[in-house]
Amino acid sequence: GEVDRLDCGGLYRTEAIRSVGYFADRNLHAFEEFELGARLRAKGWKLARIAVDSVDHFGHAVAGYTLMLRRLRTGYAGGPGEVVRGAVGQPHWRQVVRDFSQLRYGFVIWAWWLLLLGAAVLGQWLALGVIAAVPIAYFAWRRGGLRLGLYSLATWNVKAIGLVQGFVRSRRP
């Protein structure tokens, strides 16, 4: 059915790619498919996933936290920020703001950080504990255990850091 991006491979009409000027933004370390999909949809094109397997994708062979740190170090985690920065002032800006879940994750975590900081600055230690515990409890419940819950919360924090990291990275023409 209709989707906002063709992750892990896709076929595109040549006319569609020409209408948006280029296939891939060389400034992006990640989320190239989303960015291309946003540009295409802003020009009126539709993207659809068809029920034919064309790619086998295998997961990463390293541990989760190691992979997270590698993504921060290599710039991959900055991909969401690069997508947002590249869209500023462009026709696909509205598509990015409306559909890019990475942006929402970042805003939620930034708000959480501000609440934690506010409670610490005001010396509200009980509030600080509650503010810290609520997302941990939520993710533990959502993911079916404390270990996976903490990992999910860590990934959301890496995404929030990556948004900033990528947004401030200089762009090449």
CA distance 85 to 81: 6
CA distance 127 to 117: 11
CA distance 131 to 122: 13
Question: Along the 173 residues of the chain, how does pLDDT read in single tens digits?
Answer: 889 888 877 889 999 999 999 998 999 999 999 999 999 999 999 999 888 877 777 767 788 899 999 999 998 999 999 999 999 999 999 999 999 988 999 999 999 999 999 999 999 999 999 999 999 999 999 999 999 999 999 999 999 999 999 999 998 88
Render the burial of 91-123: b for 16+ CB within 10 Å, e for the rest.
ebeebbeebbebbebbeebeebeebeeebeeee
Query: For the segment 87-107, what is each residue's pLDDT rounded down to a tens digit?
Result: 999 999 999 999 998 899 999
CA distance 37 to 8: 13
